[in-house]
Amino acid sequence: MAILSPLIAGLIFGLGLCLSGMIDPRKVLAFLDLAGDWDPSLALVMGGAVTVAFVAFRVAGRRASSLAGRAFELPTTTTIDAKLLGGAVIFGVGWGLVGLCPAPAIVNIGFFDARALLFVLAMAAGLKACDVLFSLRTGAPDLRASSPGDGAE
């Protein structure tokens, strides 16, 4: 089943976000607020996640294809350009305003949180706006190119 394993990945991901407390915007903001009462938890979340994922990428690097027989879809772009950095800075402003990034916002919908749903709808509008703006400027929808992006597009 092509959808069973992504479903399980989403479940494990969501469980991790719940267990780590990263679904709580206050906890995320307490990490970002270096000048206030600082809560370093987010650093440990990332440390744990990166360590396990690092091993996984090493394992994947030794294999020709995934267990489902698919070729690995890994990002190929290596250039650090204005779009990358500008996008990251804009994302960081939104993250710092509310304390939500995409995955925890989506998980919070599962707690029947109407404000999380509103945030996710605004997120969808924001990414649409980006597509429209950049396809108008360049004349080509390069953000929807077929090569996978860093964010698993």
- Interaction with another protein in 76-95: which residues (CB under 8 A)? 77-80, 83-95
Which of 78, 134, 92, 103 lies closest to 144, judged by CA? 134
Instruction: Find the shortest distance in angstroms from Cβ 117 to another protein.
Output: 9
Single out the residue of 67, 136, 137, 138 in contact with another protein (rule: CB under 8 A).
67
Return the DSSP state at 34.
T
Alpha carbon 86 to chain centroid, angstroms: 16
* Binding letters toward another protein, positions 26-45, x by CB under 8 A: xx-xx-xxxxxxxxxxx-xx
Using rule CB under 8 A, residue 142 touches another protein:
no
Instruction: Find the shortest distance in angstroms from Cβ 140 to another protein.
Output: 15
Instruction: Find the shortest distance in angstroms from Cβ 142 to another protein.
Output: 11
Using rule CB under 8 A, residue 135 touches another protein:
no
Which string of b and e fits 119-129 if b means at least 16 CB within 10 Å?
bbeebeeeeee
